[in-house]
Amino acid sequence: MEKTSSNNVKAFKAGIWYTIANFFAKSIVFLTTPIFTRLMSTGEIGNFSNYTSLLAIFTAILSLQLFSSIAIARFDFRDNLDNYIATNLLFGTFFSLVVYLVLFFFKSSVIGIAGITEVEFHIMFIYLLFYPALEMLQIKSRIEYKYFKSVIITVISVVFATISSILTSVLIEDKLMGRVLGYYIPLIFFDIILYVILVSKIRRFSFEYIKYALKLSLPMIIHILSSELLSSSDKIMITNMCGEDKNGLYSIAYTSAIVISVLWTSMNTAWSPWLFEKMNNGEHQIIKRASRIYILFYCFVVFIYLLVAPEVLYIMGGEEYMQTVNLLPPIIVSFVFLFIYSLYVGVEVYYKKQKYIAISTMIAAVLNIGLNYLLIPIYGYEVAAYTTLIGYIVMFILHFIVVKMMKKDEVYDSIFNIIVAFFFILLMVGVIFIYKVPIARYVMVGIICITTLSIIIWLRKEILYLLKNKSFDKIKEKLMSLKKKKDHV
């Protein structure tokens, strides 16, 4: 019992720090966007967005997603996890190097199709040779609740790379090249150091580890690739069908909304290890109760963000980008569906049903690309925001069906999840109309802030107890006492 309590405290503390560190790291891109929109033209912004989209797609393929197997491998190779990681890291590098050398002989064609320079081509593949080291170390740190190491690595590498990219963009006449070089070269440097640290721990190169990892990770390539296509194909297609300027406009709108996705990513880094541990212990009721609080917190933040998103867009891009303000609600609501379907993906991952994850995500990605192909020429680049939303809704439905078929849906309160998800569809429509009446938004934000602050003051002692003891008991007691007083009256 004491051990379980101790683990819960560690998980709680680690979860807070993972969320803060990862949110900070991912938000750096968001926070520095106003700087780059002033340094770079809309065309250069569009080209950089196109480059990062291509990099994400190549990352999904070349990494073989071997690091995605670590969270489950820790249960089967508990005593040999370092050896497991080092073996798969070496194998992944070998695979990436082979692909790099093959494409090197066809680089002219690759560069032409991708719309990048030769320098960007080499930077991309050198980065991909060592990037998995960072992912593997971060996952290992999370499952061992060694949050300090994870936080330090994340913050130092991202802050240094971001500052470097700003400086090189200012100093180099080619702003796009300056941003690429300034950001990715420091990351390559950090990844090489981490790579050496992890590989030095190898004791025996085992094909058993590779076979195990590939069985779990290969379906995840399709899933991650499809996810990247779902989130990135719109930008690539807008560039090709409408021009880089339109992609620049769309990309800033997307970036203005993506802070909500960053929050999900940050929270999920803490949620997933905790989820797997609770499922391993069969504690489904604890997961169900915690997931409701988890969802409500996220959705509360999303609701607030929906109301202030136009101001965020103005800060991010300026007056030139305000024409895309109505694209924000569908993009933001897309991330609500992403957040909720990821809960079901976690269940699929734990039960090693990665093939179903891959199939579901691929169907949604193909649908999204097809809709973009048909609708962008008719309705313009703006329709991509709605096709993205449709793709995420389909993802949610498919992953829910898979978990239902597995008869594992008792882990979550699915009716609650469905109501919350589709409530945001109605909210999206309402918010678009509210955007036309700024005073109404300001009043709503004011009321919410005052109410939230009042609740925090009312529960200040209980919140301090929560932070100190990692327990919601005092908050529950106060809420129950309030309910008893109401019933008595």
At 188, the pLDDT band (50, 70, 90 cuts) reads very high
CA distance 286 to 16: 18
The model's pLDDT over 334-351, given as tens digits with 9 standing for 90+, comes to 999 989 988 898 888 888
Q: What is the pLDDT of residue 5?
A: 47
At residue 86, what is the residue type? A
Q: What is the pLDDT of residue 2?
A: 44
The reply to whether 175 and 108 lie within a common domain is yes
The reply to whether 128 and 44 lie within a common domain is yes
The model's pLDDT over 222-272, given as tens digits with 9 standing for 90+, comes to 777 777 777 777 877 887 788 778 877 888 888 788 778 777 877 777 787
Q: What is the pLDDT of residue 453?
A: 81
Q: Please, what's the largest Cα pairwise distance for the chain?
A: 81
Question: Which of the residue ranges 94-98, 109-113, 408-412, 479-483 would you say has the lowest mean pLDDT?
Answer: 479-483
- Helices and strands in the chain: count of H runs, count of E runs: 19, 0
The reply to whether 159 and 62 lie within a common domain is yes
Residue whose entry in the numeric block shows the structure tokens 């040779």: 129
At residue 311, what is the residue type? E
The reply to whether 449 and 463 lie within a common domain is no
The reply to whether 292 and 344 lie within a common domain is yes
The reply to whether 344 and 484 lie within a common domain is no
The reply to whether 320 and 464 lie within a common domain is no
CA distance 422 to 333: 10
The model's pLDDT over 354-368, given as tens digits with 9 standing for 90+, comes to 788 888 888 988 898
Greater model confidence, 65 or 183: 183
The model's pLDDT over 374-393, given as tens digits with 9 standing for 90+, comes to 998 888 888 999 999 999 99
Question: How many domains does the structure of the chain reveal?
Answer: 2
Residue 19 near residue 267, CB atoms below 8 Å: yes
The reply to whether 369 and 469 lie within a common domain is no
Average per-residue pLDDT in the chain?
81
Q: What is the pLDDT of residue 185?
A: 92
What proportion of the chain, given as a percentage, has pLDDT over 70?
87
The reply to whether 472 and 358 lie within a common domain is no
Residue 12 above 60 pLDDT?
no
CA distance 471 to 33: 38
Residue whose entry in the numeric block shows the structure tokens 């905790």: 274
Q: What is the pLDDT of residue 1?
A: 43
Residues whose CB falls within 8 Å of the CB of residue 49, separated by 6 or more in sequence, listed in order: 235, 247, 248, 251
Residue 88 near residue 215, CB atoms below 8 Å: no
Q: What is the pLDDT of residue 360?
A: 86
The reply to whether 201 and 279 lie within a common domain is yes
pTM (2 decimals)? 0.70
Q: What is the pLDDT of residue 469?
A: 53
Domain hosting 464: range is 459-488
The reply to whether 479 and 358 lie within a common domain is no
Q: What is the pLDDT of residue 394?
A: 92
The reply to whether 155 and 236 lie within a common domain is yes
